[in-house]
Amino acid sequence: MRFRKFAAPLVALAASTLAAHGAPANLVATGDFDYYVLTLSWSPGFCDTGGAAKSPTQCAAGSGEGFVVHGLWPDNLNRANPENCGEPGHISSAAMAETHGVYPDEGLARYEYIKHGLCTGLSPENYFAAVKFARDQFVVPDALKAPHEKISTSPGQVESDFIAVNPNLTADNMAVTCGGGELVDVRFCVSKDISAFVVCPKVTGHTCHSSSISVAPLR
């Protein structure tokens, strides 16, 4: 495994290759933050732990949603994370079209751009394209793509399953979160140009510590 060092306030960001060439130049963030957290929600677990009230379409019976993007969030090692960085202005239909098949619905995508995307310095079109680019770098383990029966597992096993199918990914680059004994989401730390994994103790510290969890089946 190859490692590179990136300058950052007080702590170095150790990173290993994620994407061979990184994001296209127009998708590289210019905002003042250290790295991204890409969060993939496991829809059935999200819905079972309070998400149904927030996203009824995503949680409807027969929706068939599995892992979906919840957010691509600017994050910092030793500073507060940037949020709500200004007024969004007009978000065009072309920008929203970039979100289809990435977020579970346009409402969440719009909310995520206003709260987080503005802080990247990217336009809505480029931010949503960057989200899709980041999402597309990850492989979901076969067992977690479309289970139709409940899976009994552990946070460590979910972590290992993702590490096994995503070269260079390590436990230092991710977190598995849970609620009510269920898998809720998986989070990955990646560089601002989406070319490398980043070591992120603040994020990995939120990994679920339960000895066992369940992965709820698709609805």
Domains of the chain: 4-215 (3.90.730.10)
Query: 2 by DSSP, 3-state: which?
Result: coil
159 catalytic residue (yes or no)? no
Instruction: Give the pLDDT band of residue 14 (cuts 50, 70, 90).
Output: low
Whole-number Cα distances in Å, 32 to 58, 80, 119, 140, 195 = 32, 11, 8, 30, 18
Instruction: Give residue 132's pLDDT.
Output: 98
Instruction: Tell me the mean pLDDT in the region 141-150.
Output: 96
- 172 vs 148: CA distance, rounded Å: 30
Of the residues 98, 112, 159, 182, only one is catalytic, namely 112
Of the residues 70, 98, 159, 182, only one is catalytic, namely 70
* Model confidence pLDDT, tens digit, residues 96-122: 999 999 999 999 999 999 999 999 999
Element (H, E) at 68: strand 67-75
DSSP string, 119-162: GGT--HHHHHHHHHHHHHTPPPPGGGTS-SS-EEE-HHHHHHHH
112 catalytic residue (yes or no)? yes
pTM of the model: 0.92
- Percentage of the chain with pLDDT > 70? 94
125 catalytic residue (yes or no)? no
Cβ-Cβ contacts under 8 Å for 29 (sequence gap 6 or more): 36, 74, 120, 121, 122, 130, 192, 193
Of the residues 98, 116, 159, 182, only one is catalytic, namely 116
Instruction: Tell me the mean pLDDT in the region 187-194.
Output: 97
